[in-house]
Amino acid sequence: MKTIYFDKDIPRVLATKAAARFKAARGLLFTGINAVKFKTDIPDPPLPADNWVRVKNIACGVCGTDVSFFKATTGTSSALEPIPASRKTFLGHENVGVVVEAGPAVTDVQVGDRVGIRAYMAGCDNKDLPRCRNCAEGNYSLCENYGAKPRFDLAWTGAGWSDSFIAPQQQLYKLLPELTADQAVMVEPASVAVHAVLLDRPQAGEKIVVMGCGVIGLCVVQALKVIQPDCEIWAMSRRQDKLDFARALGADHILQGDALEAASAACNGSPVYQGMSRKNRFFFGGFDRVYDCIGGGWANTLAVRLLRARGTLVKLGHHMSAIKYDETPVWWQELRIVGVDSHGMETWEGERLYTFDLTQRWIRDGKYTVDGFVSHHFPLERYKDAYRLALADPPGAFKIVLDCE
């Protein structure tokens, strides 16, 4: 087995954090000090139980979470930090692979099926534990057993950024045969967007801004138009090619220039008032809904100031660390904040189904497109080049994919 993983070795993690923090030291991220490691000589582990399978990976996307591990951004003040975890975190969850071995108790998939990882985080399905109440409902991202010990103490399992990996069958989902490999690696990020919009559905006529037009933001734009076509969308990004892509996917407008002035004009709001600091500004009567696909202190501060009273902030962007932002508008304007954790179980047109199944059905049927998202391919061994491109984020770079075969 070949696999890329995050090594939770504290001195190495601290060195990685320091290299990421200072621009002059960024080159050190691509040296041996980084906590992300690539091991190529692991004997293929045996299946530990009859309900496990072995998957040979074809390809896997590079996600913002993978970049966060490369920069070791998780902070000691984050709620994630106290949760017990294994020393190794195997990277990659936007994958497409083929089942090459299945235990005798496996019923959900069979050898030859194309599959992807559904439950990536360390919950019941990942750890092969009896399902907690949330996992039993299909909402595995809200698992109550993140801190529990797994059923098996395995040194190596692998994940999407591996040439192969082993997993319990309930961790996976079957891919529709009509999807290409490039479409398949987009099912997971598209599912994040679909889940975010279905979690708190916009009403007809709402004015909405999508902050950040990376892959997730672009997917949100399209999910909004599928789920609530009678809404008006403004896209916000620093890159013109991303804004052009957002328009092609259904965004009605671009939020250009000064964000607060543009928002006030778009929503017929009040004048923008300025405090003693030029940076401290506020207006009334903004957007009905903001999808924050950026995250961080400044994004949160701006997002809550773009909303009208009792507007809704849908929070997708994050950095796995505690942040500081001005929460005054939250209580003053009685705002609603909806947190989004990946995907789970949805209700659509009277049917209950996993987000993955709904999303890939839409892709197959032409209701939702992921064409044009995959912009770059790298072989697994060149994962550092993929990281380098992701960190640079140049024009033309959208979804970066590692080829695992």
Is residue 357 included in any domain, yes or no?
A: no
How far apart CA 240 and CA 254 sit, in angstroms, is 10
- The predicted-structure confidence for 184-240, as pLDDT tens digits, reads as follows 999 999 999 999 999 999 999 999 999 999 999 999 999 999 999 999 999 999 999
Q: Under DSSP, is residue 228 helix (H, G, I), strand (E, B) or coil?
A: coil
175 shares its domain with 250: no
Is residue 50 included in any domain, yes or no?
A: yes
Residue numbers of the chain with a pLDDT score lower than 70: none
3-state helix, strand, coil in the chain (%, to 5): 30, 25, 45
Q: Are 162 and 3 in contact (CB under 8 A)?
A: yes
Q: What is the pLDDT of residue 76?
A: 83
Q: What is the pLDDT of residue 85?
A: 87
Q: What is the pLDDT of residue 259?
A: 97
Q: Are strands 3-7 and 36-39 parallel, antiparallel or unpaired?
A: antiparallel
Smallest CA-to-CA distance from 80 within 70, 69, 94, 91 is with: 69
Q: How many residues does the chain have?
A: 405
88 shares its domain with 174: yes
Is residue 344 included in any domain, yes or no?
A: no
Residue 253: which domain range? 189-339
170 shares its domain with 112: yes
Is residue 263 included in any domain, yes or no?
A: yes
Is residue 322 included in any domain, yes or no?
A: yes
Q: What is the pLDDT of residue 232?
A: 98
Q: Are 178 and 115 in contact (CB under 8 A)?
A: no
47 shares its domain with 109: yes
E strand or H helix that includes residue 160: none
Is residue 32 included in any domain, yes or no?
A: yes
Is residue 140 included in any domain, yes or no?
A: yes
154 shares its domain with 219: no
Angle 44-177-221 from CA coordinates, rounded to 5°: 100
174 shares its domain with 203: no
What are 398's two structure tokens? 């959208």
92 shares its domain with 223: no
For every residue of 283-300, DSSP letters joined together read -SS-EEEEEE-S-SHHHH
142 shares its domain with 256: no
181 shares its domain with 273: no
Q: Are 150 and 87 in contact (CB under 8 A)?
A: no
- CATH number for the domain including 333? 3.40.50.720
162 shares its domain with 21: yes
148 shares its domain with 20: yes
- CATH number for the domain including 127? 3.90.180.10
How far apart CA 275 and CA 298 sit, in angstroms, is 17
Residue 244 backbone phi and psi in degrees, to 5 = -65, -40
Cα dihedral 102, 107, 112, 114 in deg (nearest 10)? -110
Is residue 354 included in any domain, yes or no?
A: no
Q: Are 323 and 315 in contact (CB under 8 A)?
A: no
99 shares its domain with 219: no
- The predicted-structure confidence for 237-281, as pLDDT tens digits, reads as follows 999 999 999 999 999 999 999 999 999 999 999 999 999 998 999
The pTM (predicted TM-score) of the whole model is 0.96
Query: How many domains is the chain built from?
Result: 2
